[in-house]
Each structure stands twice: as structure tokens, then as C-alpha cells.
Amino acid sequence: MIKLREAKYCNLKLFLIFLVIYGHLIETKIWESSILMVQYKWIYLFHMPLFSFLSGLFINREKDCRVQMAKIFPLYILLQTVAFLIENRMVKPLTPWWYLWYLFSYSIWLGLAWLWFRFCKGKCKIFILICSIIIGCLAGFVPYIGREFSLSRTLVFFPHFWAGVISKPSFNWKKLRLFGIFAFATALIVMFYIGGKIPVAFLYQASPYGNEKEVFLRMICYFLAGMLGLFLLTVSPNGRLPFTKMGANTMPAYLLQAPIVLYFRKLDFPWHFNIAIAVAFLCIIYMVTRWHGALYGIVSEERRVTVGNLSTNL
């Protein structure tokens, strides 16, 4: 049984992985529809920043870093190798393929967190957060900080991960609900006035700045991601719902989405059909992983999820 203190994060992770898949499904059609463009921009403002936050939230000690890195980095190497072998003309060995950047960047973040636990002993939390935001903003000025080694995204999204590391999973986010609603309203107003000035490609945070003024856009993105992330943390349901278990382990869905997304992108469905496709895919992945786990005695009908399991990045 999923513990109540973990149910909120399972519910939130399920919502975010749905947005990841849905966002990838509509990606090639956003230029044809203003509705999809607005949806896409809003999704990319917060979904990976908040995933990065949740990835750090359950990293509480040196051992957590070692355990997660031992799982994630070999997985990245394997999948990147497969992608290179299948599409060697499209994939560069030193540039993570498509969404695999997250596995690589997460591995780097874990290494940095391990160094902090090892040598800083829990000190300088806020100082590191402030420095990481400054570095994330300045990184865009350096021409060679881009997609290679996922260096730009690693630096830009690290503050979100670090904010999770220095936060407590047991924190009662409901206490900030009114502030969360105010944060959402603020984000709405900001996006109403400047949303059209933020290029879609900029939201990927994968490339150097095109001009010096884009540093202000990155600052705004940090602000909006924080506001929207806070809002979702305060309104995400705390209780164990019928679909809560589906959010306990979203890694299989994240890794297996590629063939589904690439296939359905080619079909000329109305955009709202992509919602059903994403939901159906998540349900199938959940049923298959439950069946596979039960087959090998890994899970039972009353599946127990521990905080340690939730520390897996997705």
C-alpha cells in the first residue's frame, strides 16, 4: 500500500509523465495550431523543472546518490548506444539522444549531490542554490555550452534538482495553498504579457543564447517554473486514488514512449486524441509492469512503495 505521505508525489509524478508523453505527441503539430502552441509552452515551462525537483526531493544521503547513479548511468549508456546503432546518422555519441538527456544530466546531478554530502556535510544549501541559478543564467553566454554532453540542460535545470535535495518530502504543502494559487495567478499574468516573446526552442534550455537579452528570458523561466511548481505541489491530491499506483514508477513509461510517440506523430488525428493515446499508453505500461513484477515475485496485489523507491528520477 502506498503511504499517504508518498501518495501526493505519486499523483504528481503521474500527471507529469502524462504531460511528457502528451507534449512529445503534439510537438510536430504546434506550428499548425495556436491552441497546441499555448499548451506546449505551458507544459515546457514547468514539467521538467518539477520532475527535476522531485528527483532531488528523495535524495537524503550519500548512499541514495550511489544507488541511483548505479541504476541510471548504465541505463543511459545502454540506451544511448542502442540509439546510436539504430540511427547512427542522426545520433552523436557525445550528445544524448532526444529525451535521454535527462538520464545523463540526472547522473551528473547525483554526482554533485554525492560530493556535497561527502564533503560539505549539509552546509551551504542556500548558497549553492543561488550560485547554481546564477551559473544557469550565465551558461547561455558561453557558445560551447549546448547540447553536447547535455551541458546546457545540466546546468540550467540543476537548481530545480538542488531545490528538491534541500527540501523535505514530509513538508505540508497544503499550508502554502493560498500562496500557490497566488503564484499561479501571477504566472498567468506574466505569460499573458510576455508568453509570445518566449521562443519554443528556448524552453528546451539546450542551446546558447541567440542574443544577450535572452538571459532575462531565462530568469523569467526560472521564476515561472518556481511559481507553477509551487502551485502544483500545493493542489496535488494527497490521498490514495484509484490511479495513484500508476505514478509510483513512471520510469518504464518514460523510457518506452519513443516508438509510440514517433508512430502516432505521423497520423493525422485531431489533437485531443493525443490525450487518450497518452492515457492508454500509461495504463498499458502500468498493467504490463505489474504483470511482469508479479510473474517474478517482485510485486503483489498490495504493492508497497518506499521513499527509497520514489527517489528514482521518474
Q: How many CB atoms lie within 10 A of CB 30?
A: 18
253: Cβ contacts below 8 Å, ≥ 6 apart: 17, 21, 281, 282, 285, 286, 314
pTM of this prediction exceeds 0.95:
no
Give the mean pLDDT of the chain: 89
pLDDT in tens, 214-263: 999 999 999 999 999 999 999 999 888 888 889 988 999 999 999 999 99
What is the spatial distance between Cα 24 and Cα 18, in angstroms, rounded to a whole number?
A: 10
CB 95 within 8 A of CB 147: yes
What is the spatial distance between Cα 175 and Cα 193, in angstroms, rounded to a whole number?
A: 30
What is the spatial distance between Cα 177 and Cα 240, in angstroms, rounded to a whole number?
A: 19
The stretch 126-154 carries a mean pLDDT of 96
Total of domains in the chain: 1
Give me the half-sphere count of Cα atoms (radius 13 Å) on the Cβ side of residue 88.
Answer: 2
The pLDDT, as a whole number, for residue 298 is 35
The separation between the first and the last C-alpha atoms of the chain, rounded to the nearest angstrom, is 19
Please report, rounded to a whole number, the percentage of residues in the chain having pLDDT higher than 70.
Answer: 90
3-state secondary structure the chain: CCCHHHHHHHHHHHHHHHHHHHHHHHHHHHHHCHHHHHHHHHHHHHHHHHHHHHHHHCCCCHHHHHHHHHHHHHHHHHHHHHHHHHCCCCCCCCCCCHHHHHHHHHHHHHHHHHHHHHHHCCCCHHHHHHHHHHHHHHHHHCCCCCCHHHHHHHHHHHHHHHHHHCCCCCCCHHHHHHHHHHHHHHHHHHHHHHHHHCCCHHHHCCCCCCCCCHHHHHHHHHHHHHHHHHHHHHHCCCCCCCCHHHHCCCHHHHHHHHHHHHHHCCCCCCCCHHHHHHHHHHHHHHHHHHHHHHHCCCCCCCCCCCHHHHCCCC
Residue 307 has pLDDT above 70, yes or no: no
Q: Domain of 99?
A: 4-310
The stretch 139-149 carries a mean pLDDT of 94
pLDDT in tens, 154-200: 999 999 999 999 999 999 999 999 999 999 999 999 999 998 899 99
Angle of helix 273-295 relative to helix 4-26, nearest 10 degrees, comes to 130
What is the spatial distance between Cα 298 and Cα 283, in angstroms, rounded to a whole number?
A: 19
